């Protein structure tokens, strides 16, 4: 019952935030054009949606096997990570005012899915689907590499390894633990996929800032809060976060190359003379 309630609240909050973002970032002409070209755009990105969907179905089907392989290998890096960074997360929790707990819990629980859902919808609304294709492949690469790391390495987060670190969100909002446990094992820590995927959305927001100037500051703020929350809430080590940032950069660069090989310049939108000269066309559609 608690799991269903948390999922329902998450969907509701993300939908409200999505509508607010679209209201701030889009105009009527963009929405109308998307509606007119909906079938064409959906057909264009269908192969990428299909590949992504197949991967996640396979990931879900092999989740149990991955955990068994991980336990069999038993390559536990927790002590090594603690030996490198020590009590950093504990010091962070002691330094940050506890009054911020609710804010960062909201960012972790709701800000993260908000970023993952909002970015592809915004890019689907662009005339070119290039950003969306690359974003979907970047998501896939994140989970592919992340799943491989989670299979090879066992790492327990600071809240599970250190008595000096409190699992703040789970202590104050225990119902959220049921949702996170449903989608991830407590050894799925290195690298931080919350960090890597949030940074991926941030990087795409930076690359598309000329198309969506308002989306860039929104995505930057939420992504930054999500990354910080993973440490402050005692879920990830700082090393997990650094590894997540590196994974995000690799995934974005890899997605760019893979889509470039598949598509070439076929779906790049050329800059029109009107945009180059700043002269608006007098032709009305």
CA distances to 57, 96, 140, 155, 199 from 248, in Å: 22, 26, 11, 20, 6
pLDDT tens, position by position, 18-29 = 999 999 999 899
Each residue's pLDDT tens digit, 175-213: 566 656 555 667 788 999 999 999 999 999 999 999 999
* Cβ–Cβ < 8 Å for 267, 130: yes
Residue recorded with tokens 């690298």:
191
pLDDT confidence band for 110 (50 / 70 / 90):
very high
pLDDT of residue 65: 83
- Pairwise pLDDT comparison (39 vs 262), residue with the higher score: 39
The band of 265, judged by pLDDT with boundaries at 50, 70 and 90, is low
CA dist 22 and 148 (Å) reads: 35
Q: Is the peptide bond before 191 cis (omega within 30 degrees of 0)?
A: yes
Q: Is the pLDDT of residue 14 over 80?
A: yes
Q: 60 or 47, which is more confident?
A: 47
- Whole-angstrom Cα distance, residue 122 to residue 114? 12
- The region, left, alpha or beta by phi > 0 then psi within -120 to 50, assigned to residue 185 is beta
If residue 175 lies in a helix (H) or strand (E), which one and from where to where?
helix 175-183
Report pTM. 0.87
Matching residue, tokens 């506890």: 98
Residue 135 makes CB contacts below 8 A (sequence gap 6+) with 119, 120, 123, 200, 201, 204, 255
Question: For 275, how many CA atoms within 13 A lie in the half-sphere containing its CB?
Answer: 6
3-class state of residue 154 by DSSP: strand
Between 222 and 176, residue with greater pLDDT: 222
Q: What is the mean pLDDT of residues 110-124?
A: 95
pLDDT at 271 over 70: no
Q: Where are the domains of the chain?
A: 1-266
Residue 164: what pLDDT? 73
Query: pLDDT-based confidence at 266, cuts 50/70/90?
Result: low
- The answer for residues whose C-beta is within 8 angstroms of residue 163's C-beta and 6 or more apart is none
Q: How far apart are CA 30 and CA 211, in angstroms?
A: 11
């Amino acid at each position: 019952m608690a799991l269903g309630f948390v999922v329902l609240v998450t969907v509701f909050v993300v939908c409200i935030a999505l509508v607010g973002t679209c209201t701030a970032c889009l105009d009527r002409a963009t929405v109308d054009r998307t509606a007119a070209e909906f079938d064409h755009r959906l057909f264009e990105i269908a192969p990428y949606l299909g590949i992504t969907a197949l991967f996640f179905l396979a990931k879900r089907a092999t989740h149990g096997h991955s955990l068994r392989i991980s336990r069999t290998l038993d390559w536990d890096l927790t002590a090594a990570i603690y030996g490198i960074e020590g009590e950093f997360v504990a010091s962070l929790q002691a330094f940050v005012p506890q009054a911020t707990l609710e804010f960062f819990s909201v960012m972790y629980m709701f800000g993260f899915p908000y970023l993952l859902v909002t970015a592809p919808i915004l890019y689907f609304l662009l005339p070119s689907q290039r950003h969306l294709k690359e974003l979907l492949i970047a998501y896939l690469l994140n989970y592919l590499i992340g799943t491989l790391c989670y299979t090879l390495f066992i790492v327990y987060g600071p809240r599970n390894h250190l008595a000096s670190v409190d699992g703040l969100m789970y202590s104050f909002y225990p119902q959220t633990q049921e949702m996170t446990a449903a989608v991830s094992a407590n050894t799925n820590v290195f690298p931080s996929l919350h960090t890597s995927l949030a940074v991926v959305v941030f990087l795409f927001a930076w690359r598309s800032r000329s198309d969506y100037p308002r989306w860039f500051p929104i995505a930057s703020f939420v992504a930054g809060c999500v990354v910080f929350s993973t440490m402050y809430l005692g879920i990830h080590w700082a090393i997990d976060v650094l590894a997540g940032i590196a994974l995000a950069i690799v995934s974005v660069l890899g997605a760019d190359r893979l889509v470039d090989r598949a598509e070439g310049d076929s779906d790049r939108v050329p800059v029109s003379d009107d945009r180059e000269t700043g002269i608006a066309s007098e032709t009305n559609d």
